[in-house]
Amino acid sequence: MAMRPRLVEVRKNVLRQNDLLATDLRRRYGLAGVTTVSLVSSPGSGKTAFLEKTLTMLQPRYKVAALVGDLATANDAARLERSQAPVKQITTGTVCHLDAQMVDRALDGWNLNELDYLFIENVGNLVCPSSYDLGESLRLVLMSVTEGEDKPLKYPTIFNSADVAVITKIDLADAAEFDRDAARGSIHSVRPGMRVFELSAKTGAGMNEWLAYLNDSRAPVAYAGG
């Protein structure tokens, strides 16, 4: 006679391996005193232009570097290299998101102690990256004025997982008949109190406010022991 199935209790986080590695990355960033910022958005919202502008403006005062995830090309890395900052491309193949292991491997050969800021540009995707902790201290979600004010309502999970929202291409706001209040309303509906920046990487509008905020968020250097 077949035995009845019996239930054994397990409590196991499915993403445990990623989370453990992310925790270790966060510890390493902390020890090196590097502020790590990740960027998520849909494809074409202006992550790379925003990051190129940010790197270029930070470059005179700080040591900055970037990792950039892309499914198939190294075009984004080539664009970011114009900022003179060290840039490494993570080509994910068919994988639609970055995970902690990809970041860990990409950091191989870089000395974190020499950096003030590390930026991690995720693959353009508003769904999959939300599940994976990369050890970052700040997660930015970007949306452009041409995408529609209700984008956060369509992708509440990723907007809720982010720390800061950036509305890009603000120089096109009038042409796109972009409703700022409606967009802020949508953002705060899925993540009450989230800081929102409106800016244009092309004209530079709003960039100084963002950089001032970034400066205030700098990681204090953690010392290991006495």
Q: Is 10 in the site for another protein (CB under 8 A)?
A: yes
How many C-beta atoms lie closer than 10 Å to residue 155's C-beta?
20
Alpha helices in 82-129 (DSSP H): 100-106
Q: Taking CB under 8 A as the criterion, which residues in 145-174 touch another protein?
A: 153, 156-158, 160-161
Q: Which is nearer to another protein, 26 or 151 (CB)?
A: 151
- C-alpha distances out from residue 29 to 65, 139, 166, 174, Å: 13, 15, 23, 40
Q: Which is nearer to another protein, 190 or 219 (CB)?
A: 190
Separation CA 9–CA 6 (nearest Å): 10
Q: How far is the CB of 132 from another protein (least distance, A)?
A: 8
Stretch that binds another protein, among 49-57, 66-74, 89-97, 204-212 (CB under 8 A): 89-97
Q: Is 71 in the site for another protein (CB under 8 A)?
A: no
Separation CA 67–CA 2 (nearest Å): 55
Q: Which is nearer to another protein, 16 or 181 (CB)?
A: 16
| Binding-site string for another protein from residue 11 to residue 50, where x marks contact by CB under 8 A and - marks none | xxxxxxx---------------------------------
| Helix 47-58 / helix 207-216 crossing angle, nearest 10 deg | 70
Query: For the CA atoms of 161, 167, 168, 172, what is the dihedral angle to 10 degrees?
Result: 150
Q: Is 72 in the site for another protein (CB under 8 A)?
A: no
Q: Taking CB under 8 A as the criterion, which residues in 113-132 touch another protein?
A: 127-128, 130-131
Q: How far is the CB of 154 from another protein (least distance, A)?
A: 9
Query: For the CA atoms of 159, 45, 88, 163, what is the dihedral angle to 10 degrees?
Result: -20
Which residues in this chain contact another protein in the complex, by CB under 8 A?
Answer: 1-3, 5-17, 95-97, 127-128, 130-131, 153, 156-158, 160-161, 188-193
